[in-house]
Amino acid sequence: MANAQQVQIKGTVYERTQSMGLPGVSVHSTGGGGAITDSLGRYTIKVGVNDSLRFSYQGKSTQLFPVKEISLVRPFDMKLYVDVKTLPTVEVFAKSRTYQSDSLERRREYGRYFDYAPEYLTTNPGGATYGGAGVNLDALFSLGKIKRMENFRKLLVREEQEKFVDNRFTKALVQKITGLEGEMLDGYMIEYRPTYEMLLSFENEYDYLRFIKESGEDYANWWRRNHFKQAKRP
């Protein structure tokens, strides 16, 4: 394939005076990839060597820049003719301070479970060993307690992961991106709720937001087809 070879391009997008980076600028590849600049205007994107890049902000796009003409040994910075005084507050996805503080408090409260690492076999300072290790009799006699603590730790981890998903996958975010409302929005939130592992698998914020947009369109089409059929039944 022509675009099988991938390269990584990174840089910073600045406003007209180049004194401040622009957050929320979309970086698009003609090969289908994309990224969004962070709070300091920085971006990183993987593209095919035969692709081209363009930058878009507030509905306006730059020209295409062929990847073959971009130096890979230094940052590919971009200046957009935007006056910083006119910039709106751009927040693609804010990390929840409430979630972070709750998580830290939870870790402190249940620290003995989160950090619990039982050792069934330990070095025996007295020299009596079996198979090269001393047997920790206290641990062997407490297997029931150890198992309960391990199961509780797993439960705490699962609950923390679910809270992480709750804070990243919100109705407000989905509605803003997809335009879904009412029962359609409620149904989408159930059908397309990502797992913790899935959220971590997205390479960048752009891919995550694109997942919501594309899956929201698919769900809306499915919803309209099925509810239209139900409405036509006598």
Q: Cβ contacts of residue 70 below 8 Å, gap of 6+?
A: 9, 53, 76
Give pLDDT, residue 25: 86
User: In whole angstroms, what is the distance from residue 189 CA to residue 169 CA?
Assistant: 8
Closest alpha carbon to 204 in 51, 45, 72, 89? 45
Give pLDDT, residue 89: 39
If one counts every other C-beta atom within 10 angstroms of the C-beta of residue 112, the result is 9
Give pLDDT, residue 76: 94
H helices present in 115-142, as ranges: 137-140
- pLDDT single digits (tens) 69-107: 998 889 999 988 865 544 443 333 444 455 555 655 666
Give pLDDT, residue 55: 92
Helix 205-232 × helix 182-191 angle, to 10°: 120
- pLDDT single digits (tens) 172-231: 999 988 999 999 999 999 999 998 888 888 777 778 888 898 899 999 999 888 876 555
Beta pairing, strands 6-14 & 78-79: parallel
Give pLDDT, residue 101: 56
Q: Mean of the pLDDT values across residues 49-72?
A: 89
If one counts every other C-beta atom within 10 angstroms of the C-beta of residue 200, the result is 10
- pLDDT single digits (tens) 140-171: 556 666 677 777 777 777 888 888 889 889 99
pLDDT at 8 over 90: yes
Give pLDDT, residue 183: 92
User: In whole angstroms, what is the distance from residue 224 CA to residue 215 CA?
Assistant: 14
User: In whole angstroms, what is the distance from residue 108 CA to residue 102 CA?
Assistant: 10
Give pLDDT, residue 102: 60
pLDDT at 57 over 90: no
Residue ranges of E strands in the chain = 6-14, 26-29, 34-36, 42-48, 52-57, 60-61, 65-66, 78-79, 121-122, 134-135
